[in-house]
Structure 1
Amino acid sequence: MTRLPFYGRQGKFTFRLLAITLFGQSIILSFFALVARGNAIAAGRPQEGERLLWIGLGLALLALVASGLIRRPYGITLGWIVQALTWASAVVVTAMIGVALVFTALWLLLLVQGMKVDRIVAEREQSEAGEPAPDAA
């Protein structure tokens, strides 16, 4: 098995899968911002609620930006940062543990499977071109 990448360009299939994941995560994170605000207001802390709303929306925006930049070498790094910050947001809203667990598992699954598909496609294209296939090391 190859190591998980934290920086660098990904194959066509991999970056598409990861971009979809980050886009969906950005939608859920925007809902997190509303829940965090509502919890703070219900607890009698409206100023903190406004702050949490903007922090949550900032995280959602970061996920959306990372989704758009996933083709760039630093795009996958931004994706990992979004995953880490999603876990960190569980300190504020404990229900985010479930969200972080689901999206991190999805991120890892699609990263590994996307890399496999990209490798298979590259091997197939090389064999069709009559070139020797690269070794799997």
Structure 2
Amino acid sequence: MRTLCASTLIGEFFVIGFAGLVAMKDPDLATSTVWTVSGILMGLSVLLCGMITRPGGIQLGWALQIALVASGFIVPTMFILGLAFGALWWASIHYGRKIDEAKARFAAQAQAQGPGQAPAEGSAG
């Protein structure tokens, strides 16, 4: 799960940066405000890569997804991108957990068979 979620978060890092560049063109927004908010969100996306498996990491990731969708009020394209990354975040968690469970089952089977023995063909599922 960690790898899939981290990949999604790194993708979001770049999308947030590009959205900041687009938001800078809005004459109603101060450049310092745009980059303060963008910088915080970009930093959060990188920090979350290491916090995914810790308590609250997944919830903070969901908060970031909500912030991405909400940023659509400033950069309308972010409504679409935020929803797309929200779907990727859900898929990363959902399928990542399934992969982790399959790895754990495979490791338990390998350990039960003893060291140095390969699992029997067709016994992986």
What TM-score do the two structures reach when normalised by structure 1? 0.73
Which of 33, 46, 49 is the matching residue for 2:20? 33
Pairs aligned (count): 113
Supply the AA of the counterpart residue of 2:77.
A
Aligned residues: percent identity? 30
Give the aligned partner of residue 19 of structure 1: 6
Following the alignment from structure 1 to structure 2, what is the Cα–Cα distance between the partners of residues 54 and 24?
19
What is the aligned counterpart of 1:79 among 33, 50, 61?
A: 61
Name the CA distance, whole Å, in 1 between partners of 2:91 and 2:17. 23
Shift of 1:53: 2.9
Matched, 1:95 2:77: yes
The 10-residue stretch of structure 1 (69-78 or 81-90) with the greater mean CA deviation from structure 2: 69-78
Higher relative contact order (Cα pairs below 8 Å, separated by 6+ residues): 1
Give ranges in structure 1 of 5+ residues lacking alignment.
1-13, 132-137
Which residue pairs with 1:119 in the alignment?
101
Structure of greater Rg: 2
Q: Secondary structure at the match of 1:130?
A: helix
Per-residue Cα deviation, 1:9-58 (whole angstroms, up to 9, x for no partner): xxxxx0111011101101110111111111x23xxx3x534312321222
- CA RMSD in angstroms, aligned pairs only: 1.8
- Distance in 1 of aligned mates of 2:67 and 2:54: 20
Q: Where has structure 1 moved over 4 Å in runs of 4 or more?
A: none
CA distance in 2, matches of 1:114, 1:62: 21
Q: Which amino acid aligns with 2:3?
A: R
Residues 100-131 of structure 1 show CA distances to partners (whole Å, capped at 9, x for unaligned) of 12111111112111111111111112222229
- Find the counterpart in structure 1 of residue 88 from structure 2: 106
Larger deviation, residues 109-118 vs 66-75: 66-75
TM-score when normalising by structure 2:
0.80
What letter is aligned with 2:55? Answer: P
For 1:104, the aligned partner's letter is G
